[in-house]
Structures are given as structure tokens and as C-alpha cells.
Amino acid sequence: MVYVEVPGDKVPIRMWTDPATVEDQAMRQLRNVSTLPWISGLAVMPDVHYGKGATVGSVIAMRGAVCPAAVGVDIGCGMSAVRTSLTARDLPDDLSRLRSRIEQAIPVGRGMHAEPLDPGRLHGFPAADWERFWAGFDGLAEAVRFRRERALAQMGTLGSGNHFIEFCLDETDSVWLMLHSGSRNIGKELADHHIGVAQGLPHNQGLVDRDLAVFIADTPQMAAYRQDLFWAQEYARLNRALMMALFTDVVSREFRRAKVVFDEPISCHHNYVAEETYDGVDLLVTRKGAIRAGAGDLGIIPGSMGTGSYVVRGLGNPASFNSASHGAGRRMSRNAAKRRYSTRDLEEQTQGVECRKDSGVVDEIPGAYKKIEKVIEQQRDLVEVVAKLKQVVCVKG
């Protein structure tokens, strides 16, 4: 669809969805964002919904400023996927053993590794910059420095909520491996720390919403935030790379006779900040629940635990600041989903998928999410579909 412009305060709000379908809370958040003195543009993806601090599915471009709450507390959260040489014919009828092996190799929920992973022992993991990356830990905010051991133990772990690991088939019956995770607890603690710092700064006291407090360029607070932000984004990328290495190791062992070959992985953040230039102006672009979709960029847009997902290629639309949606997007809150749906509903909506079907994941039921097919259709001017995937195994925390 062609985007719809809704009047904002300092900039129009460009929306790749029908504004009438967006809940009032989310529209208020978007209008509040449009009042920020530093804003240069605001684009809204078709998976938009209300979020803590700032709207999920929003792309905020600012001159010389960045809002830490608009990044979200899971800094660098995103997706990774890799196509394999396996096909549907290689799969056993019972996939429960495969799911169990994945859960044994990769801690989920609040689980951690008993000992920090040695990346040098993982095939396919780019370990060259490992020491350099961890050397940066000592330069992080003092408030989190006591978390080093925990951050090491959580590196290569899934977490909970909407994070997942999936074994999927595309429309040609090729097998794909896919996962969704971020910067774990260390990212959250860094985000919480800097949001608190920003809210206390004098220039933020007159804002319409204290959650929209920003850091301004060429200040010590901005320098400290940028250092921690980019470190956490790298943590999230490495976390996904480690999990994918563990995942491919499980698959190689389980399908040893097939001598599995893995393509180059696709990886993309969808809660992050990037320095980008539009119309000759240098901007800080915050994507919260959005992926970069520059011309040729490969990305991943997942549905829910019982529906499909899409691998896409960006078309480079500057109106969206070269962005696209990060998923289907919730259509009801977690608490609302728990009130409305039962484990029987979950079983029905995840038929054919080897996954948890207990009360602990009812809030992740497909019915709580928007229809992924419609979300993809609404952004045909932002991305083109490379592959449509359907999960046969889904691991959740």
C-alpha cells in the first residue's frame, strides 16, 4: 500500500496501515513522538501496536538526538535465519527428539550456560573479535559492571516472551533454521540505566511524555549512551550467532547421514539505532519493532508460533527511512490473550507444530497476533518476498 499521512505536531506521521485500526494508546504515543523538538521524520509500520515507552513498529529519525526508550529495553533484539541442504524428505515423522536436543543445547527462559561458551570450539562462529568485544565491557556504565559473569553465562541463550527457535520449511520444502532473541539481561539493565539518566536531564523536563526523554549530541550523557548502546547491539548480534552455531551443531549431529550444508546466515536487528543520511542530512534513526530494508538488504519478518514467516529483500524506500515491519505485531496484550484463550485453543492453533502447548505460552498463541499475510501485503512498496517459511518445530522459553 502507499502510506497514509496523519497530521503530527512537527512532522507528519507516515503510516503503512489504516490509522483507524491502530489502538488509541498507540496513536497517542505516535502523536507525542511528533512533538519532539529534534524530530526529522516518523514512519509507522503495519505491525504497529502500543509499547512500553514508545510505540512498537515505529521508525523515528532525529537530528542530533536519540530517545533510549524508543529503542526499547531489549537493545539489539532481532532475527537470524539460515537455509540448509536438508529437505522435508529428510525429516522423521516424530520431531520431538529434535526439539528436545535443541532445548538441551540452548538454554531458554531464565536459563544460562553453566560455563561461558568458548566460541573457538563452535564451527561456523566468527570468533576473531571475541576478546576485543569483551574488552569493551569494562567501559560500560558502572551500574552494570558487576554483571560481567552473568552476561557471559547468558551469551548464547534464548530468553522468554516472544523469543523463539524454529525449524522451518519453505515452499520448495527446503529446511531453514530461524531464531529470535536479543541482548538478554545486560541489554535491559543498560537500557533502564540510561532511560533513568535521560529522564533527569533539564532539557527533557517540559516534554509531553517523560518516556520520550532524549540524549543530545555532543554531551557526556550522549557519548556514554552511544558507547553502551552499540556494545549491547553487538552483544545481541553475537548472542544470535552463538545460538545459531549451537543450533547448526545439533542439526549436523541429528542428520549426520545427510551431511548437512548451511548457507550464509541472514541476520537483522529490529530494536536499534543507526546513523544514516537522508537528503544530505545526518540522522539518528531509531527502529523499535522495525528492520532496515535498504535496497537489497535481506531481512526476516516472522509471524507467530503457529503461522508462517517471511524472508524479504528491501526495496529501499526513503519514505520509510529504508525500513519495514519486524513481525506480525500483537493485536491484543499478553494479559488479554490469557483471559481469552485456553490451552485447548493453543493446541488447535498450533496443530502440526512440535512445540509447547501449555498455559505458560498461551499469551503467544497465534490468535493474539495480526495476520502476517496482511502485514506483508501492506508493505509491498518496502520489501519483496524471497521465501515464505512454515515452522514444524518451535522452541520457546
Q: Which residues are annotated as a binding site?
A: 74, 162-166, 180, 270-271, 302-305, 309, 326-329, 396
CATH of domain 4-294+319-330: 3.90.1860.10
Q: Full-prediction pTM beyond 0.85?
A: yes
Tens of pLDDT, residue by residue over 71-120, are: 999 999 999 999 999 999 999 999 999 999 999 999 999 999 999 999 98
> How far is 22 from 144, CA to CA, in rounded Å?
37
Q: Is pLDDT above 80 for 124?
A: no
Residue 129's pLDDT is what? 83
Q: Is pLDDT above 70 for 1?
A: no
Mean pLDDT value of segment 58-83: 97
Mean pLDDT score of the chain: 96
Tens of pLDDT, residue by residue over 257-302, are: 999 999 999 999 999 999 999 999 999 999 999 999 999 999 999 9
> How far is 386 from 232, CA to CA, in rounded Å?
29
Q: Is pLDDT above 90 for 127?
A: no
Q: Which residues are annotated as a binding site for Mn(2+)?
A: 74, 163, 180, 270
Residue 86's pLDDT is what? 98
> How far is 277 from 375, CA to CA, in rounded Å?
27
Contacts of residue 263, defined as CB under 8 A and 6 or more positions apart, other chains included, come to 82, 83, 84
Task: Report the relative pairing of strands 13-15 and 39-49 from DSSP bridges.
Answer: parallel
Mean pLDDT value of segment 347-354: 97
pLDDT band per the 50, 70, 90 thresholds, residue 142: very high
Tens of pLDDT, residue by residue over 146-176, are: 999 999 999 999 999 999 999 999 999 999 9
Residue with cell 526499547: 72
Which residues are marked as active site? Answer: 326
Domain ranges in the chain? 4-294+319-330
pLDDT band per the 50, 70, 90 thresholds, residue 126: confident
CA 193 to chain centre: 21
Q: Which residues are annotated as a binding site for GMP?
A: 162-166, 270-271, 302-305, 309, 326-329, 396
Using only C-alpha atoms, the chain has a radius of gyration, in whole angstroms, of 20
Mean pLDDT value of segment 311-328: 98
